[in-house]
Structure 1
């Protein structure tokens, strides 16, 4: 059975959680414990507003069933998501055990977040507003070129990247989860640790932007399995398997599949699927036999608005305009 939360039902769900919030630290009114309802999961989410523009979250729960949550278009902060356990797939990322996702600010388009059945989730999230991020530059300084892509206007899709949680990051994350302090000491301790683990991710981001990434040495059998994974994706455009399920089907672990896929095809698993969908969409629009919303549905997009945003980002033109130009003999992609 799948738990499906529409955009409205998810909003109602969140409001109900906050209405019953508990305060695990009586000396800190900005530290909330949100107990998950029994029909949804066993466990809790803890949120600590460390200061204006800097928030820490700890998610520790096990879902009752597979969950699909529809999230609206929203302007996001710079966000660091660390998965010590658990996985999810959304419009931009596939994140598994001991991986982190880095999200820049900007537009997070409407999408469906998919979480697997009964999987234990243990996640630490650090959210930083752009103003807070920029405040670390210092007076008279400029944001380094390697980090400028992390800050985008509200109408541009945010940057995303998935990486592996290093042993150093793991140590800090467990210190956050097991913080022994309360009150002032706790807030100072957690803020320091949140900034420390974010700094480690930013150092890796600097290396990524400078092109310093190690490559895997792939054996022929591994390459064959990666090509098989691609075939499975192409056969399941509407309901593609999660990264871990896809890895299981082709006999690889999720890390080998993720890194190997990018090395073989030059894109992440989800990125390849996304681009393939866009190419299929351009062909269907060019034929003129389907409406834009029908094309969106045909390639696995639940939202026409997100499809339009994704198509424009890929090709620099809206699907409707592209279809009209094809009908009048205009440009083709």
Structure 2
């Protein structure tokens, strides 16, 4: 097993150390660090970027040829880490001899530790791993009591006493969608950083909300779906997003994915927090909003292009989501374009 020790929480120093240990090619784009690895140790990418307020983002898309143990030493100022695994699985422990916590694909996790406690991540060999970490660190400036890290400590820790804390949450595909959006950001420079920062804040909000929902409903994590069935739900979700204009029924999706109706509904409720029908409707409405904003199609053309039959029904659900009718929305977009 290859062991890598990180003695710093500063992103640029972390990547300098990772470059030495992994012998990769390190590049930068608007303060984003990108480490490309293609050698006998493994193949893939590790990316990271820091934002104001002590928030950092790291993304792993790697496959190692040997087991890797990444040991991050905790400083006096303990960060709170929000983890998400979209492919494969990763293990965590407090110290190399501590109990291991498994984070599977599509699961959220919240990790932090007491002062000067090592945090260890274990990456299995010959397994493709895709995971992210959103790291919220305390700042040393005045007024730190109002910092996000302090607010999160009040949320997660009793009497604001920081201790070893590992929470493995429910399965969630909303986070996976935000990670996908980060990876499709094609602009460069400061615009890229701002777009990624906005999406990272959304990921952080989704993880916090997931934790809150799990506490309210302890049965959420108890799912009868296997790992393969969860992957099928993800694939069907992608299919719905790619073909929203198709008349997709529960029966059709069950047949396509090889799932029973109860398994399909359970999967969508668990990973999207909604039913299959409501998810399809939401995908269509979001696509319609984008078509109204970015094309010259009239409302009727938009309605029929996304699979709706009734324009009046579409107008009703569009207004419920965006607080205005499709026509009003289009007129506002047109007025904005003219004034610009």
TM-score scaled to structure 2, two decimals? 0.51
Q: Is the 8 A contact 1:83 1:95 kept in 2?
A: yes
Q: Secondary structure at the match of 1:193?
A: helix
Encode CA deviations 1:125-158: one digit per residue, 9 max, x unaligned.
Answer: 2111145894359xxxx948971419966xx533
Q: Which residue of 2 aligns with 1:4?
A: 2
Work out the CA distance in 1 between the residues paired with 2:152 and 2:68: 39
Q: Which runs of 5 or more structure 2 residues have no equivalent in the other structure?
A: 9-13, 95-100, 227-340
Aligned position for 1:298: none
CA distance in 1 between partners of 2:153 and 2:122 (Å): 33
Other structure's SS at 1:47 match: strand
User: Which residue in 1 is equivalent to 2:324?
Assistant: none
Aligned to 1:114: 122
Q: Is the 8 A contact 2:7 2:73 kept in 1?
A: no
- TM-score normalised per structure 1: 0.52
Instruction: Note if contact 1:58-1:177 (Cα within 8 Å) is conserved in structure 2.
Output: no
Alignment of structure 1 residues 193-208 onto 2, 5 Å? 193-208=199-214
- Give the Cα–Cα distance (whole angstroms) in 2 for the partners of residues 34 and 104 of structure 1: 25
CA contact (8 A) 1:105 1:152 kept: no
Q: What is the 5 A alignment of 1:57-206? A: 57-72=58-73, 74=75, 76-91=78-93, 93-104=101-112, 106-107=114-115, 109-110=117-118, 112-131=120-139, 134-135=146-147, 143=151, 147-149=155-157, 156-206=162-212
Report the more deviating stretch, 171-180 or 122-131. Answer: 122-131
**Contact 1:109–1:157 (8 Å) recurs in 2:** no
- 1:236-255 aligned at under 5 Å gives the runs none
- 1:213 matched to 2:215: no
In the superposition, relative to structure 1, how do residues 108 and 197 fare at CA in structure 2: closer, same or farther (>3 Å)?
Answer: farther
Instruction: Please list every run of 5 or more consecutive structure 1 residues that lacks an aligned counterpart in the other structure.
Output: 223-333
SS of the residue corresponding to residue 157 of structure 2 reads helix
Alignment of 1:256-295 (within 5 A): none
Deviation of the 1:45 alpha carbon: 0.8
Distance 2:47 2:68 in 1: 20
Matches of 1:218 and 1:148, distance apart in 2: 24
Superposed displacement of residue 174, structure 1: 0.7
Aligned-partner SS, 2:217: coil
Closer, same or farther: CA 13–86 of 1 in aligned 2, 3 Å: farther
Q: 1:6 to 1:124 in 2, by over 3 A?
A: closer
Residue aligned with 1:23, SS: strand
- CA deviation vs aligned residue, 1:17-70 (integer Å, no higher than 9, x gap): 699763342xx1x21112236232111211112225111112111111223445
Larger Rg: 2
- Whether the 8 Å CA contact 2:3–2:70 is kept in 1: the answer is yes
Aligned partners of 2:153 and 2:163: how far apart in 1?
19
The answer to whether residue 54 in structure 2 is matched with residue 53 in structure 1 is: yes
The whole-number CA distance in structure 2 between the counterparts of 1:190 and 1:158 is 29
Task: Show the counterpart of 1:258.
Answer: none
| Counterpart Cα distance in 1 of 2:7 and 2:136 | 27
